[in-house]
Structures are given as structure tokens and as C-alpha cells.
């Protein structure tokens, strides 16, 4: 029955295509078709998952090849898919959260006249994301990789009438291309070195390859992962991407697509296991992004951008875990799943708040919303408790495990991760306080109200998952479940007992909460954003996204522009000059050569006679010389 896995992809793909083709008549029910397609995929995912549970641990990887995609010479690529423990979890996350977000979008996009198209794009995204995680070949994975990029581009720029949205979509597209270079080169290198790009074959061959190959492969894949997962230095597009509709931010830019980089690293575990350098690079990238994202999250007044900073930061945690090797892989995936729950929850919550606040995203205009929107507040709170690591909530278990493993690897890495946990608690408390507590700062003509059922039900479901997601860790289930894919981990002995470390983490988080409460809960919040001059340089840097855009501008954009200008100049003066010069010279030659064509027979005859003489002399010269 695992041969049916292609249906997971085919259903939303067909639905998306149908919605795009059908036209206006389907405007009334298009969103229902889209949601049903996603739900059908989810149901099938659950059935397949149940079937997988019924198999023995070593019999849980099921490959299927639909057809031969490319077969030229020695280059052979099958359109192959693999359904195993890792992709099974992803299928559930993508289709499950995806379906909830489809349902939510029915309400959120109700008044948008292009709602059918929106659902078509969402369906296409689901199909592409499933292709990405089910792929059995890196080239098929790349297909999905580009597919989600395309869907992301279309959805960020969905409100293309806004110049900022169009620009953000373009930016996401361009920055992702940089990462894609890494992906493409990695696939070419695989083919050049191993003669195949099938994931299983590459993973099997990686341990036997030289250091240089595995390191290059690892770094190239990391570059791809950085682009897709908004990791430093390719992070700048994610905050702009918040221009898209909020369900898009929840689905694509929080729960699923941006975690593709983490998936890629975990899926390519054999390559990273074989290269110490690549793994260290992953850790550094993860750690830096973790702290940078948290910093940005502290300074943003735009609720979605604050959450986006948080997403960066949390993916940094996952990256960090993925860089820790077999010990970290399961926890990277675990955190990825719990984060998918609570971050989608909070994004949808933010969307619900915006819905009630006339699409205002500035938290300084919020305040005291807990009474106006009780359901949104309650579910958001569950997400909040999960992300700060309140004991018992899903985030508590997953983050705790990552920090614990980080300490097992290196003291400084562990301390960095620990600091991040504290900052996370601070900015989330800030966000919570500014939005739901304190005095109402909204304008007079704004009348906050609770969102309709179709939006709050998904919130409740995701809230419940935020609370309960930790059950995956019961009896180390997820670790054992993923072990056949990610490899067995040696247990690290920590300097202090795990329970002590957990206490310390909780204490640090509590400190963050306390600081946040003291700063934003006890004191009134200004209704307008303070000017740059009046805040500390830390806040200023955070507001400007740590000057990432300025850095890009100075290091990449401006030199490129200069280079372009030079090339245009060179093209005009040098190449065109040469070509037109050549053409002119030819014209002159032509004029010169037509001169003897005088029209006089006598001169023609003379030319011929001279020709005869030359031919005779040539022949004689050639032979007799």
C-alpha cells in the first residue's frame, strides 16, 4: 500500500491545477475543494503512518519509483519516492498543520476576491513540500525545493498590488536563488563523484568518499539550507516575507517550508557525519542565527516580524541540533514538529488579532486584547508557554533536549543555546504583554472582536498540540523511531545530572519572563514607536535586523551594480565597438571591392586574363617549387 504514496502529492497537485484552470464558476466552492484535497492527503498520511507503525523497525522504509525521469548516457534519474520514518512525520506535519491552516484561511481570506487562487497556490505548496520530503533522489528533492520556492514567491506576493509585497516576493526569490546555487552544485558534485544522485546511494557512498568531497558537499548543502531556512547569512528575506497573508506566514514561513533546510541536513546525515568541518559549520550557523533571530525578535514592534525573528531563532535551534550529529538529529526533528505546532498556532493567533484590529500589525496599537479576544488569547497563551519552555509544554521537552545535547558537545555552544532560551522568554513575554495585557492603546475607530469559528477552531486544535506535542518524547519514542534513518547516537555524559540542567534552563527562561514582565507588563507602553535616537544601540540594531540588509547592500548589491555598469560600458564600447567597427570595415571593404565592377567588358576581360595568368602561375609554382 505504500505504493500509494504518490497520491499524497497527486491529490493537492490536481486540486491546485483544477482551481487554477476552472475559472470563475469555482469561486464559490474553490476553497472547499482546496481544503478537502489537503484533508484527503492528511487522511491518507494517517493511514500510511498507521500502516508503518505495523511494520518492524527495519522494514519501515518503502521506496517506489514512478517512472524514469532522465536517462541519457550514464545520467539516470528515477522519479522515485521514499516513505520512511522521517518522511512519515513530515507528511503528518505538513498535511495536518496544512489542513488546519486551509480551514483557517477560509475565514481569513473570506473577503478576498482572489481566494480561489490563494487556495490553488496553497495546494501547490503542499504538493511541492510533500515532493521535497518524499523524494528518493536529490534531483526530485530539488524539484520540490524549487516548487516550494515558487509557491512561496507567489504567496508572499499574493497582494501584488502592494509594492512592498511585490518587492518582498522578489527579494525572497533572489536570496533563495543564492541558496539554490549551493543545492545545484551539490547535486552535480554528487553525480560527478558517485555517479548517482539517489539519496540512498549517496548516503551509502558518503562514508567512503574523501574528506574534501564530503566537506564540499556538506558546505554546499548547508548553503542551500541557509537560503531556504533563512539562516545567517541568507536570512534577510524572511522578515520581508511577512508581507504575505498571515496563513502563508504560518504555513510556509513558520511551520513547514523554512524547516526544509533542517530536513535536508538530517536527510543527508551520512555526508555530515563524514565531515567534521561541515558539521561545525552547521553548528556555527545555527548558533549565530539562534541569537540573531532572538535579538531581532526583541526589537520589532510589528507582531509578525517579531514572530518571524522568533522563527529564525527557533530554526537556529534546529540547525544547531542537526549539527550535533546522530545525537542531535532526532531532537532537531522533534523541535521542528513542536515548533510547527506552536509557531503556526501563534502566527494564526496573530492573524486573528490582526483580523480584529483592521489589519494593524503594530503591537504598540494593541494592549489589553485578552478580554476582547478570549479564545485567541487562550490559544496564543498555550503557544507562548510552549515556546518559552514552560514545564510540561511541548517546547519545554524539545528545547530542553537540544540544549542538553549542545552542552554534551561543547560548553560554549551549550551556553549560547541557554542564553537564547532566556532571550526567547524575554521577547515572547514582551509580545504577550504588549498585545494582550496592559491598557488598551487602540484607536477609537477600531473595535476588536473575536474571530469566527472557522478561524478559532484551528487555533484550538493547534493550541492543544502545542500543549501536548511533548508526548512524542515519551519513552524516547521519537529517538528510537528515527534511529534507523539518522543513525545510532553515543550517549554523552554530562558534567551535571540532566535534571539539574533542566532546572537551570527553566530558571533562565523564568528570568527572561520576569525581565519582560517588569519592562512591559508593569510599565505603560508607548503608543508610538520611540525614535531610533532614544533607544539603546541594542534595540536599534535589532530594529534594523542587525543591519543585514545594509550589509547585503554594501557587500553584494553595490559591487554588483558597479560590475554591471562596467559590463554595460564594456559591452557598449568594447564588444559593440569591435563588432560595429568590424561591420564598418567590412562595409568599406565591400565598397572597395565593388570598384573594379565597372561595367566595361574590356576591364572584365582583363580581370579574367589576369586571373588566367595567376592560375597558371600558381599551378606551376605549387608543383615545380
- Footprint of other proteins (CB under 8 A): 583, 586-587, 589-591, 593-594, 596-597, 599, 601, 604-605, 607-608, 610-612, 614-616, 618-620, 622-624
Q: How far is the CB of 574 from other proteins (least distance, A)?
A: 20
For 375, the grid coordinates are 479564545
Q: Which residues of 590-625 are buried (b: 16+ CB within 10 A; e: fewer)?
A: eeeeeeeeeeeeeeeeeeeeeeeeeeeeeeeeeeee
For 476: left if phi > 0, alpha if psi spans -120 to 50, otherwise beta; the answer is left
- Coil, helix or strand at residue 373: coil
Q: How far is CA 504 from CA 95, 371, 423, 495, 573, in A?
A: 36, 34, 14, 13, 67
| DSSP 8-state code for residue 23 | -
Q: Least distance from C-beta 597 to other proteins, angstroms?
A: 6
Distance, in Å, from the CA atom of 65 to the CA atom of 546, rounded to the nearest integer, reads: 46
Residue 340 in contact with residue 259, Cβ under 8 Å?
A: yes
243: which DSSP letter?
A: G
DSSP character string of 400-449: HHHHHHHHHH-HHHHHHHHHHHHHHHHHHHHHHHHHHSS-----TT----
Q: CA-to-CA distance for 180 and 86, rounded, in angstroms?
A: 23
Peptide bond into 476 cis (omega under 30): no
CB of 589 to other proteins, least distance (A): 5
Question: Taking the complex as a whole, how short is the minimal distance between the CB of residue 609 and other proteins, in angstroms?
Answer: 8
Shortest Cβ 600–other proteins spacing (Å)? 9
Measured from the CB atom, the residue of 204 and 582 that comes closer to other proteins is: 582
In the complex, what is the shortest distance from the CB of residue 570 to other proteins, in angstroms, rounded to a whole number? 22
Which residues have C-beta within 8 Å of that of residue 462, sequence separation ≥ 6?
97, 100, 341, 342, 344, 345, 348, 379, 383
Cβ proximity to other proteins, 533 vs 599, nearer residue: 599
CB atoms within 10 A of CB 10: 16
Residue pair 470/398 in contact (Cβ under 8 Å)? The answer is yes
Burial class from Cβ neighbours inside 10 Å (0-12, 13-18, 19+) for residue 586 reads exposed
* Comparison of 498 and 605: residue with beta carbon closer to other proteins: 605
Query: Which CB, 50 or 593, lies closer to other proteins?
Result: 593
Rank residues 491 and 595 by Cβ distance to other proteins and give the closer one.
595
Of 575 and 614, which CB lies nearer to other proteins in the complex structure?
614
Grid coordinates 477560509 are at which residue?
A: 106
Establish how many alpha carbons lie within 13 A of residue 195's alpha carbon, considering only the half-sphere containing its beta carbon.
3
> How many of the other CB atoms lie within 10 Å of CB of 189?
16
Q: How far is the CB of 578 from other proteins (least distance, A)?
A: 15
Nearest approach, Cβ of residue 567 and other proteins (Å): 24
- State which residue, 557 or 579, has the beta carbon closest to other proteins: 579
Q: Least CB distance from residue 70 to other proteins, whole Å?
A: 25
Nearer to other proteins, 495 or 608 (CB): 608
Cβ proximity to other proteins, 530 vs 611, nearer residue: 611
**CB of residue 577 to other proteins, shortest distance in Å:** 17
**Considering Cα of 296, then 299, then 305, then 306, what sign does the dihedral take?**
positive
Between 111 and 594, CB nearer to other proteins: 594
- Distances in Å between the Cα of 395 and the Cα atoms of 88, 338, 525, 529 are 21, 6, 28, 31
> Min. distance of Cβ 608 from other proteins in angstroms?
5
Nearer to other proteins, 564 or 589 (CB): 589
CA angle, 294 as apex, 101 and 506 as ends, to 5°?
90
Amino acid at each position: 500500500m505504500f505504493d500509494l504514496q504518490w497520491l499524497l502529492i497527486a491529490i493537492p497537485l490536481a486540486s491546485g491545477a483544477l482551481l487554477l484552470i476552472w475559472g470563475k464558476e469555482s469561486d464559490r466552492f474553490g476553497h472547499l475543494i482546496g481544503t478537502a484535497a489537503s484533508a484527503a492527503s492528511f487522511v491518507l498520511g494517517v493511514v500510511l503512518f498507521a500502516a508503518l507503525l505495523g511494520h518492524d523497525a527495519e522494514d519501515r522504509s518503502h521506496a517506489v519509483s514512478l517512472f524514469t525521469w532522465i536517462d541519457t548516457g550514464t545520467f539516470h534519474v528515477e522519479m522515485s519516492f521514499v516513505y520512511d520514518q522521517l518522511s512519515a512525520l513530515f507528511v503528518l506535519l505538513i498535511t495536518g498543520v496544512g489542513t488546519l491552516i486551509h480551514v483557517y484561511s477560509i475565514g481569513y481570506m473570506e473577503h478576498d476576491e482572489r481566494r480561489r487562487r490563494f487556495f490553488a497556490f496553497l495546494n501547490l505548496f503542499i504538493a511541492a513540500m510533500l515532493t521535497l520530503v518524499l523524494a528518493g533522489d536529490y534531483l526530485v528533492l530539488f524539484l520540490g525545493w524549487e516548487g516550494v520556492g515558487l509557491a512561496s514567491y507567489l504567496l508572499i506576493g499574493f497582494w501584488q498590488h502592494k509594492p512592498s509585497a511585490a518587492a518582498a516576493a522578489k527579494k525572497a526569490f533572489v536570496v533563495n536563488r543564492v541558496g539554490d546555487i549551493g543545492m545545484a552544485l551539490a547535486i552535480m558534485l554528487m553525480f560527478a563523484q558517485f555517479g548517482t544522485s539517489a539519496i540512498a546511494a549517496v548516503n551509502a557512498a558518503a562514508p567512503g568518499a574523501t574528506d574534501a568531497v564530503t566537506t564540499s558537499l556538506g558546505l554546499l548543502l548547508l548553503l542551500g539550507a541557509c537560503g531556504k531556512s533563512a539562516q545567517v547569512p541568507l536570512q534577510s528575506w524572511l522578515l520581508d516575507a511577512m508581507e504575505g497573508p498571515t496563513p502563508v506566514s504560518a504555513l510556509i514561513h513558520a511551520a513547514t517550508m523554512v524547516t526544509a533546510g533542517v530536513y535536508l541536513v538530517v536527510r543527508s546525515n551520512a555526508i555530515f557525519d563524514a565531515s567534521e568541518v561541515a558539521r561545525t559549520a552547521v553548528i556555527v550557523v545555527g548558533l549565530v542565527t539562534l541569537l540573531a533571530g532572538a535579538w531581532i525578535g526583541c526589537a520589532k514592534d510589528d507582531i509578525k516580524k517579531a514572530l518571524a525573528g522568533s522563527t529564525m531563532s527557533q530554526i537556529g535551534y534546529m540547525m544547531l541540533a542537526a549539527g550535533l550529529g546522530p545525537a542531535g538529529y532526532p531532537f532537531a526533528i522533534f523541535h521542528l514538529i513542536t515548533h510547527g505546532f506552536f509557531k503556526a498556532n501563534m502566527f494564526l493567533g496573530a492573524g486573528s488579532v490582526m483580523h480584529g484590529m483592521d489589519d494593524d500589525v503594530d503591537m504598540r496599537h494593541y494592549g489589553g486584547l485578552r478580554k476582547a479576544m478570549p479564545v485567541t488569547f487562550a490559544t496564543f497563551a498555550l503557544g507562548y508557554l510552549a515556546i518559552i519552555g514552560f514545564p510540561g509544554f511541548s517546547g519545554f521537552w524539545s528545547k530542553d533536549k537540544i540544549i542538553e545535547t549542545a552542552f554534551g558537545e561543547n560548553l560554549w555552544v551549550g551556553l549560547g543555546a541557554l542564553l537564547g532560551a532566556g532571550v526567547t522568554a524575554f521577547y515572547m513575554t514582551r509580545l504577550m504583554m504588549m498585545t494582550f495585557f496592559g491598557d488598551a492603546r487602540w484607536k477609537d475607530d477600531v473595535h476588536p472582536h473575536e474571530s469566527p469559528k472557522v478561524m478559532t477552531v484551528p487555533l484550538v486544535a493547534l493550541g492543544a498540540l502545542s500543549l501536548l506535542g511533548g508526548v512524542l518524547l515519551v519513552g524516547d519514542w521519537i529517538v528510537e523511531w528515527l534511529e534507523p534513518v539518522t543513525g545510532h547516537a553515543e550517549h554523552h555524559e554530562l558534567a551535571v545530572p540532566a535534571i539539574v540542567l533542566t532546572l537551570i534552563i527553566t530558571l533562565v527562561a523564568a528570568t527572561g519572563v520576569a525581565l519582560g514582565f517588569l519592562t512591559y507588563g508593569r510599565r505603560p507602553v508607548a503608543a508610538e514607536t520611540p525614535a531610533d535616537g532614544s533607544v539603546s544601540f541594542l534595540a536599534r540594531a535589532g530594529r534594523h535586523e542587525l543591519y543585514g540588509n545594509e550589509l547585503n547592500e554594501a557587500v553584494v548589491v553595490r559591487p554588483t551594480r558597479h560590475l554591471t555598469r562596467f559590463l554595460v560600458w564594456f559591452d557598449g564600447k568594447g564588444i559593440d565597438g569591435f563588432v560595429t567597427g568590424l561591420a564598418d570595415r567590412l562595409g568599406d571593404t565591400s565598397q572597395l571591392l565593388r570598384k573594379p565592377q565597372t561595367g566595361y567588358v574590356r576591364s572584365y576581360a582583363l580581370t579574367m586574363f589576369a586571373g588566367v595568368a595567376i592560375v597558371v602561375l600558381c599551378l606551376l609554382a605549387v608543383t615545380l617549387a
